[in-house]
Amino acid sequence: MRLLKKQQLAAKENLDKRVFLEGAAGTGKTTAAIERIKQLIRSGAPAGSILIIVPQATLAAPYHEALKRARVEGAGSVRAATLGGLAVEMLDLFWPLIAEEVGFARPTQRPHFLSLELAQYYMTRFIQPEIERYDLFNSVRIQPNRLYTQILDNLNKAALVGFPHDQIGARLKSAWAGDVEQAAIYDDAQRAADLFRDLCRQYNLLDFSLQVILFVQFLWRREPPRRYLTRRYRHLIVDNIEEDNPAAHDLIADWLPECDSALLIYDREGGFRRFLGADPDDGYRLKALCEVQLELDNDRVMSEEVAAFRYELGRSLGRRVPAEKPNAADARDAIRFADSRYLPQMLDWTADNVRRLIVDEGVSPKEIVILSALLPDALRFALQTRLSERGITSRTHRPSRALREEPAARALIALAKLAHPHWGMPAEKYDTIFALSAAIHDLDLARARLLVETGYKNNQLIPFAQIADPEIQNRVTFELGGRYERLRAWLARYQAGDPQPLDHFFSALFGDVLAQPGFGFHRSPDAAAATANLIDSAREFRQTVSRIEPDLAVAPEYVKMVDQGVIANLYLRDRDPKLRDAVLITPAYAFLMSNMPVDYQFWLNVGSSSWGQRLYQPLTHPYVLSRGWKPGRIWTDADEYATDQEMVYRIVSGLARRCRKRVYIGFSEIGEQGIEQRGAVLTAVQGMLRRLSREAAGV
């Protein structure tokens, strides 16, 4: 790999120093870091003494890929971690050392690490009744899950920024100058946060916020745990500091004097994770702690046309850009712009162009990414359908449905209800029809309905032979009847024995029946993946909940929570290796966080106001709850506008910096809601095109 001089200074030299490397995306910072790691190992540093710290796991992907391929001994085993990952590992090991002093009700018992899913469950189980009892949040109209996420998020912000959690409400209110209703919401947010924190202390529950507090404020300040980390990891590579939070910055600032070397990497135009506590300004202070400070400014990704496009778009967004253009290229050559009236036309245009690139121009599908501000299910589904009609394989960072809506998971839940009549939760008739149809290969919904209409009584399936009407048996066919009978008999045998944990029930049902030849899950990777995810979720639920409340009937509680959409509501991870060479469809944010440039990008629906606009979060505020916020300052509409504009610029500029060849910009005049769209990105692109035409015509 040929490195520029400045990259060399970070990669091959200064190996015993603390180096701060800044620059925009695409200037080769991560490349330099990867080379530095190899060089460290070549110079004798054990791979196990190097730690890569990133704000979120996806940002470590370029390291994993490059180091696994590197022809340097041990490079593939260099570890990457997030603050959260380190916190869990350290608490799991050193809990006995701090258990007495951290004020938990059961210090001699092990703590329970709460996933977001379980944190939401405990919100539902213990905090929701309080919310109802005291009529909290009565003016807020959002789904309970989003309410809980924001309550948890406030606790996280307090932990990450480093203020006591009982100041959340006061901080939010102090920046608010509007109606009393919103101020009351902030009071309620404080109350809910207090309730949840008390609950955690009572039951040794460690949500993300407590994991951070106990790690940073307790373990890190004690000699044995701190020594464990600082002796083990002598060389730090800290990437995307701008996307990390103040707690991580504090930790790194503290660690720097104790390590043998460090490379800290800062993207000047990042800060996309603000809503998760990222604080680019706070991260920048780490620069002063490094002996060597380097800047990279040579872009190594964008073509000249794309660089010109980024520059011109910046001008149109009102940015102060250098007077000198980056090159003589015409920005318009970097883009294709389609002006459609309706969304379906824009999607057709997108799918046609993707097909043309792959089939006619021989572009590798993995060099194409389709981006939108948000990625609602309907949009993703419509796009994937169009692509598959054109023979194009695509993948998404998220599934088309929440886990509980995956057909396999739905079928398993319904069959679980059938197998456990003592829960008193009979499966709905339609769910049973659906479950039979999903479970038995070739059994369509019509015949499944026949079976259920005649053979489903008192939450029990009757044997096929006992279906009195021979006409129905004939229509179902004896072959399918035989499969039905095998499934029914398995469920009956199960019922006759002791009930098993739900995850074990799912596993046995899957292996013994549903995945067998003749059944719906046989050789279906999707069904196997959904079943595996459901089993993981049910197991985690059982193992935590049964330890906290041993008398609770865990299995029906789990099913109830799935039905209510509290559990099994998160996305599935895309792990199918066959899909590595597929067109990626993803929200822009997720793409920016994957740190992998591509040749071609499609920006969908640039008229949408969702590009850059903050999500509606009535209970929290990423700026007011940040470290740099001045107490007493009021958050104004002008602030809102300025931060939105800034974010729009950062997103489009960040996307362009991760594009080598061309950007296809799709726009539909009428948006999903049937309303005309005039979002900031659209306005900027149209303004840019008009201006460039005028300039070209010498007007």
Among positions 91-120, residues that touch another protein (CB under 8 A) are: 92-94, 96-97, 108-110, 115-116
Task: Write the CA distances from 596 to 65, 654, 659, integer angstroms.
Answer: 11, 11, 9
| Nearer Cβ to another protein (436/509) | 509
Nearest Cα neighbor of 28 from 305, 326, 302, 280 is: 302
CB of 303 to another protein, least distance (A): 28
CA triple 456-508-540, angle to 5 deg? 105
**CA terminus-to-terminus distance, the chain:** 46
Q: 456-457 and 460-461: which strand pairing?
A: antiparallel
Instruction: Tell me the window of 24-32, 47-55, 380-388, 628-636 that interacts with another protein (CB under 8 A).
Output: 47-55
CB of 404 to another protein, least distance (A): 14
CB 205 within 8 A of CB 114: yes
- Non-local CB neighbours of 641 within 8 Å, separated by 6+ positions: none
CB 533 within 8 A of CB 80: no
Site for another protein in 651-670 (CB under 8 A): none
CB of 624 to another protein, least distance (A): 15
Site for another protein in 375-414 (CB under 8 A): 397-398
Site for another protein in 511-570 (CB under 8 A): 511-513, 515-517, 522-523, 525, 528-529, 531-532, 535, 570
CB of 192 to another protein, least distance (A): 15
| Nearer Cβ to another protein (316/595) | 595
Site for another protein in 156-185 (CB under 8 A): 156
Choose, by CB under 8 A, the member of 4, 8, 39, 85 that binds another protein.
85
Site for another protein in 54-83 (CB under 8 A): 55-58, 65, 68-69, 71, 73-77, 79-83
Sheet holding 261-267: strands in order across? 79-81, 50-53, 235-238, 261-267, 18-23, 292-296
Instruction: Tell me the window of 40-48, 449-457, 467-475, 558-566 that interacts with another protein (CB under 8 A).
Output: 40-48
- Non-local CB neighbours of 646 within 8 Å, separated by 6+ positions: none
Choose, by CB under 8 A, the member of 27, 30, 31, 149 that binds another protein.
149
| Nearer Cβ to another protein (159/302) | 159
| Nearer Cβ to another protein (176/228) | 228
Question: What whole-number distance in Å separates Cα of residue 440 and Cα of residue 444?
Answer: 9
Kindly state the number of chain residues that form the binding site for another protein, as judged by CB under 8 A: 84
Q: Which residues pair with 670 in a beta bridge?
A: 676
Choose, by CB under 8 A, the member of 128, 345, 500, 609 that binds another protein.
500
Residue listed under structure tokens 């099913």:
559
Question: What whole-number distance in Å separates Cα of residue 477 and Cα of residue 479?
Answer: 5
Choose, by CB under 8 A, the member of 12, 504, 560, 660 that binds another protein.
504
3-class DSSP string for 47-99: HHHEEEECCCHHHHHHHHHHHHHCCCCCHHHCEEECHHHHHHHHHHHHHHHHC
CB 153 within 8 A of CB 626: no
DSSP 482-519: HHHHHHHHHHHHHHHSPPPPHHHHHHHHIIIIITSTTB
Task: Write the CA distances from 550 to 69, 534, 554, 555, 599, integer angstroms.
Answer: 48, 22, 9, 12, 55
Site for another protein in 251-310 (CB under 8 A): 273, 275-276
Choose, by CB under 8 A, the member of 12, 17, 146, 366 that binds another protein.
146
Work out the number of other CB atoms within 10 angstroms of the CB of residue 220.
20
| Nearer Cβ to another protein (162/687) | 162
CB of 575 to another protein, least distance (A): 6
CB of 695 to another protein, least distance (A): 39
CB of 119 to another protein, least distance (A): 8
Question: What whole-number distance in Å separates Cα of residue 366 and Cα of residue 618?
Answer: 38
| Nearer Cβ to another protein (184/579) | 579
| Nearer Cβ to another protein (346/412) | 412
Choose, by CB under 8 A, the member of 175, 450, 593, 663 that binds another protein.
593
Nearest Cα neighbor of 435 from 426, 421, 445, 446 is: 445
**Residue 153, both tokens:** 């998020």
What is the three-class DSSP state of 35? helix
| Nearer Cβ to another protein (531/605) | 531
> Helices H, strands E: what count in the chain?
27, 16
Burial 187-197 (b: 16+ CB within 10 A, else e): ebbbbbbebbb
| Nearer Cβ to another protein (408/685) | 408
Question: What whole-number distance in Å separates Cα of residue 366 and Cα of residue 578?
Answer: 12
| Nearer Cβ to another protein (193/294) | 193
CB of 110 to another protein, least distance (A): 6
Site for another protein in 189-228 (CB under 8 A): 208, 224, 228
Choose, by CB under 8 A, the member of 3, 8, 46, 345 that binds another protein.
46
CB of 61 to another protein, least distance (A): 11
Choose, by CB under 8 A, the member of 25, 88, 136, 625 that binds another protein.
88
Instruction: Tell me the window of 182-190, 337-345, 460-468, 612-620 that interacts with another protein (CB under 8 A).
Output: 612-620
Output helix, strand, coil percentages for the chain, rounded to the nearest 5: 55, 10, 35
Choose, by CB under 8 A, the member of 215, 349, 464, 506 that binds another protein.
506
Q: Is 1 in the site for another protein (CB under 8 A)?
A: no
Choose, by CB under 8 A, the member of 391, 470, 577, 632 that binds another protein.
577
* Torsion sign across C-alpha atoms 351, 355, 356, 361: positive
CB of 596 to another protein, least distance (A): 15
Choose, by CB under 8 A, the member of 478, 571, 640, 694 that binds another protein.
571
Question: What whole-number distance in Å separates Cα of residue 553 and Cα of residue 698?
Answer: 77
| Nearer Cβ to another protein (81/184) | 81
Choose, by CB under 8 A, the member of 459, 617, 643, 683 that binds another protein.
617
CB of 603 to another protein, least distance (A): 18
The single-letter code of the amino acid at 565 is G
| Nearer Cβ to another protein (94/255) | 94
CB of 336 to another protein, least distance (A): 27
CB of 50 to another protein, least distance (A): 12
CB of 625 to another protein, least distance (A): 13
Nearest Cα neighbor of 77 from 31, 43, 46, 42 is: 46
Instruction: Tell me the window of 53-61, 172-180, 259-267, 647-655 that interacts with another protein (CB under 8 A).
Output: 53-61
CB of 412 to another protein, least distance (A): 10
Instruction: Tell me the window of 340-348, 418-426, 587-595, 600-608 that interacts with another protein (CB under 8 A).
Output: 587-595
Q: Which residues pair with 583 in a beta bridge?
A: 394
Nearest Cα neighbor of 17 from 288, 257, 265 is: 257
**Residue 316, both tokens:** 């149109």
What is the three-class DSSP state of 400? coil
| Nearer Cβ to another protein (482/525) | 525
